[in-house]
Chain A
Amino acid sequence: MTEKSYRDAIRDAMMEEMDRDPNVLIMGEDIGVYEGTFRITAGMLKKYGPKRVIDTPIAEAGMAGTAVGMAMLGLRPIVEMMTMNFAIVAADQILNHAAKVRYFSGGQVDVPMVIRGPQGAGVQLSAQHSQSFESFYAHFPGIHVVAPATPADAKGMLKTAIRGKDPVIFLESAALYGMKGEVPDDPDFTVPFGKSRVAREGKDVTIVSYSRMLQLSLIVADKLAEDEGIECEVIDLRSLRPLDMDPVYASVAKTHRAVVVQEQWKPFGAAAEISASITEAMFDELDAPVYRVTGEDVPMPYARNLELLATPHEEHIVRGVKKVMYA
């Protein structure tokens, strides 16, 4: 184990996989000479050269679409989106092409590609640069959607994504890039998709989350335990598609109360899907309706005080926990 930042874990995963397999390459805007807006790709152009570290024009549809073609022909492209907000430009390439070609060809091709980049709010980037897209992508069959919350998962899940056979939307939290954590050194360390984990054990309330909100939920759980003796069990979903609900159900069977936490907007969001699944599967076990903690239903404002009002914070999770406890 070595302590690594979330950012370095992502870079390590890519470089180790590029060392391991010459078919892995990366492309994106300003990832080479400029070394990446978030410096995820620093040093990669120098090491692997321009054929494998491709600086592209500002053309997200071009990047995603060419990656689909490369993947169909046996390469394993990683597309870095400067932020996932820009990937909307490539929605047709991702949703109509990457996600569909295996199916409408009757399984004649694999499409092993990764589209990765940061998302989320918190640093006054306003309406077009602060969105979260997990429910948008997870709605569509034919792709995997993952959102790791720790450096170890970031590394292990990115390796799984790169080694896989399908398109993966790899959602990084920009706010977590600097976060440090223990990461296994084994170059073959991978984290499988579709395996939710219990991030913290507890008996009173189940909190379900992923990505940055998972970290926030853990902080809240510790505080509630210390201050009020409420023991929350926190489940890290890790991947939204495939979605592993079994640990959630097992936890709800124990706690009979659940809160789902997400950064994105409430309507039609990931928390709605999880809440509905819990209700469908565990109705008889529930002692309270499943509660959703989400961002406010507005485009992200620029002003710092308004941005803080628009995103979920510790007190919102605390309120959610108390709500399902009727406390």
Chain B
Amino acid sequence: MAKAKKESSSAVADPACAPEWTDLLKQMILIRRFEEATEREFRKGKIGGYLHVYIGQEAVASGILSALNEDDIVFCGYRDHAQALVRGSDPDKVMAELFGKGSGISKGKGGSMHLFDAEHGLYGGYGIVGGHLTLAAGAAYALRYQNTERVAVCYFGDGAMNIGSFHEAMNMAGLWGHQGMCPIIFVIENNGYAMGTSVERHSALTDLSARVRAYDIPTEKVDGQDIFAVRGVADRVVRQVRETGKPYCIEANTYRFSGHGAADILQPYRPKEEVEKHRQRDPIVILRNRLTELCGLAEDEVKEMDTWATEVAANAVKFAEEAPLAEPEELFTDVVAEHGPRPVRESEHD
């Protein structure tokens, strides 16, 4: 059976004051301000469908994805705005996608749950819990099959671990790993809840990593609120997976500060005190304090970042609002490459 590492604590990464940490702080503030803007626009009715924000979990996206190369690839669930922004997707196009506009990153055809940006290595954005794990394992196989040194990262929540495709993906990744044919980093975003069902209520074994080790995939737990810890693990794991072609799983213990989705207002499944307690461990505050205390990051610099992030988010909203609607013809494109559908209502489209 694969080994488990103890939870990594934040042995302050060296060099702790490298400019990269400041950039990561800036990036996490951007994700936060961007998502706060999406929540406001959702309440105004500008964004439709579902909206699941990453607020509170930002260090899990930034900490791991910043350890990747540009040509590495990422799969995630429907809580995917952070991953898109970290990978380098244009915030304007992401917001336009959420607004359902033709200039959205997927022409307005996917929306919040299906952010997709192949150019930046983001291969979705999937709405069926656990369904994308098999895709990611296959993609990792393809990367090795093509003799590249690229790796895949696959994010999923604790709630994705009880569905069949999780087990089928893990087992096949474990098997292919034996041949060095599955360079993938599985990331459990353990935020304690499958929607409103807590881990102890949804998983017979609450040590989630142990369930991954059953498939001969080594695991490691990390404090997902502390980007120093996350990045430290990610650097080592990404290097190892790239070298060996074997899968690895990082369980990031984290917490979402907002509801499951924008409609989850009452949150009867968790007491307010619990949320408050976790808010005290805001990943952005943790990184900011660290940089302030150890590296002399000035209050003004943080404010500047905040102003910048707020502006980027506001500009994205403005761009999305002014963006043209999707062309009606787009309804019928991208269904299949050839032999696409013809309008059912001929007369209306003629």
Contact = CB atoms under 8 A, between A and B. Distances in A.
B135 A69 contact: yes
Interface of A: 25, 50-51, 56-57, 59, 61-62, 64-75, 77, 89, 92-93, 96-97, 101-110, 141-144, 164-166, 193-194, 242
B105 A69 contact: no
A25 B168 contact: no
Contact of B138 (A59, A65, A96): A65
Contact of A106 (B109, B126, B128, B164): B109
Kindly name the residue among A97, A164, A242 whose own CB sees the greatest number of chain B CB atoms within 10 A. Answer: A97
B116 A69 contact: no
28 contacts: A25-B145, A51-B181, A56-B172, A57-B171, A57-B172, A59-B168, A61-B164, A62-B168, A65-B133, A66-B141, A67-B138, A68-B135, A70-B139, A70-B141, A73-B146, A97-B131, A97-B135, A103-B109, A104-B106, A104-B124, A104-B125, A105-B106, A105-B114, A107-B333, A108-B116, A165-B336, A166-B336, A166-B337
Given A65-B134, A65-B135, A109-B116, 18 more contacts: A57-B168, A57-B171, A61-B168, A62-B134, A62-B171, A62-B172, A65-B133, A65-B165, A65-B169, A66-B138, A69-B75, A69-B139, A70-B139, A72-B135, A96-B131, A104-B125, A106-B334, A166-B337
Contact of A74 (B105, B142, B172): B142
B175 interface: yes
Nearest to B128: A96
Given A66-B135, A194-B339, A106 B172 contact: no
B105 A106 contact: yes
Nearest to A241: B339
B138 A68 contact: yes
| Chain B interface size range | 35 or more
B98 interface: no
Interface of B: 73, 75, 104-111, 114, 116-119, 123-128, 131-143, 145-146, 164-165, 168-169, 171-172, 175, 179, 181, 333-339, 341
Contacts of B104: 106
B335 A102 contact: yes
A203 B339 CA distance: 30
Contacts of A71: 138
A59 to B, nearest CB: 4
Specify the main secondary structure of chain B where it touches its partner: mixed
B116 A106 contact: yes
B110 A106 contact: yes
Contacts, number: 161
A108 B333 contact: no
A102 B145 contact: no
A212 B17 CA distance: 71
Given A61-B165, A62-B172, A96-B131, A106 B106 contact: yes
A70 B172 CA distance: 13
Contacts of A103: 109, 334-335
A18 to B, nearest CB: 13
A72 B132 CA distance: 12
A161 B182 CA distance: 26
Contacts of B336: 102, 141-144, 165-166
B136 A69 contact: yes
A311 to B, nearest CB: 31
A93 B339 contact: no
A100 to B, nearest CB: 8
Nearest to B182: A66
Nearest to A108: B118
A101 B124 contact: yes
A66 B116 CA distance: 18
A92 B166 CA distance: 13
Contacts of A25: 145
A73 B139 contact: yes
Contact of B134 (A69, A74, A108, A165): A69
Contacts of A144: 336, 339
Contact of B109 (A73, A104, A109): A104
Contacts of A102: 334-337
Given A73-B142, A106-B116, A164 B338 contact: yes
B342 to A, nearest CB: 10
Given A51-B181, A109-B123, A193 B145 contact: no
A62 B169 contact: yes
Contact of A72 (B111, B139, B164): B139
A73 B175 CA distance: 20
Contact of A242 (B107, B108, B118, B339): B339
A165 B334 contact: no
